[in-house]
Amino acid sequence: DAMVIQNPRYQVTQFGKPVTLSCSQTLNHNVMYWYQQKSSQAPKLLFHYYDKDFNNEADTPDNFQSRRPNTSFCFLDIRSPGLGDAAMYLCATSRDPGTSGGANEQFFGPGTRLTVL
Amino acid sequence: GIQVEQSPPDLILQEGANSTLRCNFSDSVNNLQWFHQNPWGQLINLFYIPSGTKQNGRLSATTVATERYSLLYISSSQTTDSGVYFCAVLTGANSKLTFGKGITLSVRP
C-alpha cells in the first residue's frame, strides 16, 4: 500500500545534541510537509518542499532545518534541541496544493515523538 | 488568515450513541479535511470534503461551502472512536492547512 513512513517512531535526545528525523513516501507526491504538534494543541506547519523548492514558515525557528535529497525522502534536522522542542513531529504529503480537487489532499505519517532530556 | 473553529471542544458519549461535530471556517476553501488522531498520535484521514456529503461506514460528513461550515456525524459510537477529531482547511492563497483546535471525544463502554 502507498504510504507515508516516519522513522523512528520515538526519539530521545539530550539537550543541545543534534537530531535528525526522517520521512519517506511511496505516493510519489510532489509536496512534503513537516508539522510540529505539542501536547493538546493542533499541528503547526514548520516548512514544506514543493519538489525541490523549500518554503519556510515565517515563525519557524532557525534551529529547525530540512533536506529533501529526492522525491521520496525528507529529513527534519534540529540543530540544538531545547526542552521546548519536545513534541510530536508529523510528516505529510500531497500531490499539488495549488489546485482544487483531490490533488491537494494531505496524507500524514504516523509521527515521531521526540523527547529532550 | 482564515479562522477555523470547532465545537464542542469536548464530548463524552455512551457507547452506541450518535454525535455531530461541527467545523466553522471564515473564508472560502479549496480543501477541507476531517482527521481522527488516535491515542498513538497518528492523524487518520477520515474525509476529504470541500463541499457536499460523503459517507464511510458509521461516519458521514457534510460541507456547506456557501455557509462555511462542515459537520461530521458519528453513528453507533464505539470505544475505538475515542480520540481527537480535527478539521483542517486549505485556501487558494497558500499551501498551508489551517487546523481547528480539535474536539476531544471520549466514548465510554
Q: Do B48 and A42 touch (CB under 8 A)?
A: no
Please list the rounded mean pLDDT of every run of 10 residues in chain B (109 residues): 95 97 93 93 93 96 97 97 95 79 96
Phi, psi values for residue B72, rounded to 5°: -115, 125
**CA A107 – CA B11 distance, rounded (Å):** 26
**CA A101 – CA B83 distance, rounded (Å):** 28
Condensed to tens digits (0 to 9), the pLDDT of residues A102-115 reads 668 899 999 999 99
Count of other CB atoms within 10 angstroms of residue A102: 12
Comparing CB atoms, the residue among B40, B43, B92 nearest residue A90 is B43
In chain A, which residues have their Cβ closer than 8 Å to the Cβ of B94?
97
In chain A, which residues have their Cβ closer than 8 Å to the Cβ of B33?
105-106
Interface test with A, best of B2, B43, B91 (most A CBs within 10 A): B43
**CA B104 – CA A69 distance, rounded (Å):** 38
Give buried/exposed letters for B43-53 (b at 16+ CB in 10 A, else e).
Answer: beebbbbbeee
Q: Which three cell numbers stand for residue A54?
A: 523549500
Q: What is the pLDDT of residue B94?
A: 64
A99 pLDDT above the threshold of 80: no
* Residue A57 DSSP symbol: -
- The alpha-carbon radius of gyration of chain B (Å, integer) is 13
Strands (E), A1-117: 4-7, 10-13, 19-25, 31-37, 44-50, 53-56, 64-67, 73-78, 87-94, 107-108, 112-116
A2 pLDDT above the threshold of 80: no
Would you list which residues of chain A are within 8 Å, Cβ to Cβ, of chain B? 31, 37, 41-43, 45, 48, 50, 55, 57, 88, 90, 92, 94, 97-100, 102, 104-111, 113
Condensed to tens digits (0 to 9), the pLDDT of residues A10-64 reads 999 999 999 999 999 999 999 999 999 999 999 999 999 999 999 999 999 999 9
Q: Which three cell numbers stand for residue A70?
A: 529526492
